[in-house]
């Protein structure tokens, strides 16, 4: 989901005028990239039952949640006028959906630990 969001912003640079503040956009982009790489690594590790798959999933969850909360905070802080143009749906729809997904992953990890 995060890669689709990034793709939409990259494919449609005119969707956000004026351009995003680089102090927000660059760390957010690297955070999204790190979360995406960790998600793929965790999915592969769990699929093939590699040792450390659960630990990698925990790392993905922590990094992903921290990245989303930081990006949401920084994005709101650096767009004080609230004008997000055509990208308004990212903090309004996609970020909450990703946070719910992370909550489900953490709940499943905690349930597995309790068993």
80-108 per-position pLDDT tens digit: 676 777 778 888 899 999 999 999 999 99
Determine the structural domain holding residue 99 and report its residue range: 21-114
Q: Which residue has the higher pLDDT, 29 or 76?
A: 29
What are the structure tokens assigned to 44, written together? Answer: 């592969």
Q: Report the domain count for the chain.
A: 1
> Does 16 fall in a domain?
no
> Does 74 fall in a domain?
yes
Handedness of CA 95, 64, 83, 74 (dihedral sign): positive
pLDDT tens, residue by residue, 75-87:
888 876 767 777 7
What are the structure tokens assigned to 47, written together? Answer: 């699929």
pLDDT > 90: percent of the chain:
53
Contact 64, 34 (CB under 8 A): no
Count of beta carbons in the 10 Å neighbourhood of residue 72: 17
What are the structure tokens assigned to 53, written together? Answer: 């798959």
> Does 13 fall in a domain?
no
> Does 69 fall in a domain?
yes
CA–CA distance from 72 to each of 13, 47, 67 (Å)?
20, 31, 8
Q: Tell me what pLDDT residue 16 has.
A: 58
How far apart CA 70 and CA 67 sit, in angstroms, is 5
**CA 61, 106, 114, 41: dihedral to nearest 10 degrees?**
-40
Given a cut of 70, whether residue 58 has pLDDT beyond it is yes
> Does 108 fall in a domain?
yes
> Does 8 fall in a domain?
no
> Does 86 fall in a domain?
yes
Band (pLDDT 50/70/90 cuts) for residue 10 is low
> Does 12 fall in a domain?
no
């Amino acid at each position: 989901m995060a890669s689709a969001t990034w793709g939409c912003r990259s494919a449609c640079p005119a969707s956000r005028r004026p351009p995003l503040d680089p102090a927000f956009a660059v760390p957010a982009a690297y955070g999204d990239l790190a979360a995406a790489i960790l998600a793929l690594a965790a999915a592969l590790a769990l699929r093939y039952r590699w040792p450390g798959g659960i630990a990698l999933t925990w790392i993905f969850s922590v990094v992903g949640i921290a990245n989303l909360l930081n990006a949401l905070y920084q994005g709101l802080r650096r767009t004080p006028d609230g004008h997000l143009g055509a990208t308004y749906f990212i903090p309004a729809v996609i970020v909450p959906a990703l946070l719910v997904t992370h909550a489900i992953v953490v709940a499943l990890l905690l349930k597995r630990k309790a068993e």
